[in-house]
């Protein structure tokens, strides 16, 4: 190994350095240098559960600074807080599970508000682990605010918290979010999930038509649009100006559909 390091140095190649182990990083939590202390804190948070053993032991450290930060880090790791979100939350999640139910509901809402997309792993952990239904619902409401969060609700089987896992309104909102971001396959997946629950949902068919139109899949778009009208979609004024249908509006088949169902 020494020979290899020397050869790398002689060749002008930097010798790779190993990342500090959790126990070494824990010691740095007591550093007088803020930058050193802060970096150790973030590195331990990134290590996640693999650092829990060293941090748990450090909670009884004779150094009060190490003891305090170790206790805080254990809580952050327990609730899957990403490094970028930790400064925004402060001590919000400290001893979270010891708080009264109403306070945990409030904290879950605050995490969603402060964290945005970064709050998703934290809210997911609360949804999974908090024993109180009302707290789970508070976490679920926070997840609904993010398209990726609604995917988590579906994956986690949200009926456990009194919300329908495949609720049509949730799926529709999720599909529309994907459509707006031009993630067409994901949008179609959500709309088709709706049709598995409500096979004649006119809005789902209309949105499928919009998606295929934006993909320039003319036949699929027209077929879906016809189905939408057949099952009750009748906002023909919007159809004539919806930019999502621009790629098929000039086709005679489009006007035929409008004329047929507008009667």
pLDDT tens for residues 189-204?
A: 989 988 988 899 999 9
Angle at CA of residue 253, ends 250 and 254, nearest 5°: 55
Contact criterion met (CB below 8 Å) for 76 and 86 = yes
- How many distinct structural domains can be found in the chain? 3
Q: In the listed set 144, 161, 178, which residue is the last one of a domain according to the structure?
A: 161
Q: Report yes or no on 243 lying in a domain.
A: yes
Same domain, 181 and 219: yes
pLDDT tens-digit map of 53-83:
999 999 999 999 999 999 999 999 999 999 9
pLDDT tens-digit map of 169-227:
767 877 888 898 899 998 999 899 889 888 999 999 999 999 999 999 999 999 999 99
What does the chain come to in residues?
263
Same domain, 116 and 195: no
- Is pLDDT above 70 for 162? no
pTM for the whole thing? 0.56
Same domain, 256 and 172: yes
Mention every residue, 6+ apart, whose C-beta is less than 8 A from residue 191: 171, 172, 175, 204, 205, 207, 208, 211
- Range with the largest mean pLDDT of 14-28, 103-117, 145-159: 103-117
Euclidean distance between CA atoms 220 and 227, whole angstroms? 11
The whole-number pLDDT of residue 11 equals 54
Joined together, the tokens standing for residue 166 give 């495949």
- Is pLDDT above 80 for 114? yes
- Is pLDDT above 70 for 28? yes
Same domain, 57 and 113: no
The whole-number pLDDT of residue 190 equals 86
Q: In the listed set 117, 135, 161, which residue is the last one of a domain according to the structure?
A: 161
Q: Report yes or no on 234 lying in a domain.
A: yes
Question: Domain holding 178: CATH number?
Answer: 1.25.40.10
The whole-number pLDDT of residue 163 equals 46
Q: In the listed set 141, 161, 181, which residue is the last one of a domain according to the structure?
A: 161
Average pLDDT, the chain: 86
Same domain, 185 and 249: yes
Same domain, 138 and 201: no
> pLDDT-based confidence at 168, cuts 50/70/90?
confident
Q: What is the mean pLDDT of residues 119-137?
A: 91
Burial track 184-208 (b if 16+ CB lie within 10 A, e otherwise):
bebbbebbebbbeeeeebbbbbbbb
Range of the domain at 127: 102-161
Q: Report yes or no on 13 lying in a domain.
A: no
Q: Report yes or no on 82 lying in a domain.
A: no
Same domain, 154 and 214: no
């Amino acid at each position: 190994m020494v020979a290899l390091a020397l050869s790398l140095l002689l060749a002008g190649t930097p010798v790779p350095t190993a990342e500090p182990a959790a126990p070494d990083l824990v010691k740095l939590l007591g550093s007088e240098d803020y930058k050193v202390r802060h970096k150790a804190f973030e590195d331990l948070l990134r290590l996640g559960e693999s650092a829990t053993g060293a941090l748990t032991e450090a909670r009884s450290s004779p150094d009060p600074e190490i003891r305090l930060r170790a206790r805080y880090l254990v809580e952050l790791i327990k609730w899957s807080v990403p490094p970028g979100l930790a400064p925004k939350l402060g001590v919000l999640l400290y001893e979270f599970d010891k708080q009264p139910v109403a306070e945990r509901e409030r904290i879950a809402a605050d995490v969603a508000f402060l964290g945005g997309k970064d709050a998703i792993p934290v809210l997911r952990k609360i949804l999974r682990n908090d024993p109180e239904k009302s707290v789970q619902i508070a976490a679920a409401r926070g997840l609904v605010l993010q398209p990726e969060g609604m995917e988590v609700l579906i994956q986690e089987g949200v009926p456990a918290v009194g919300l329908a896992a495949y609720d049509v309104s949730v799926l529709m909102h999720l599909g529309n979010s994907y459509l707006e971001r031009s993630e067409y396959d994901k949008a179609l997946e959500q709309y088709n999930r709706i049709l598995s629950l409500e096979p004649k949902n006119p809005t789902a068919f209309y949105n499928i038509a919009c998606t295929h139109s934006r993909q320039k899949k003319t036949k699929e778009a027209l077929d879906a649009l016809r189905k939408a009208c057949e099952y009750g979609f009748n906002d023909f004024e919007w159809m004539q100006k919806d930019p999502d249908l621009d790629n098929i509006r000039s086709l005679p088949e489009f006007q035929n559909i409008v004329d047929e169902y507008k009667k």
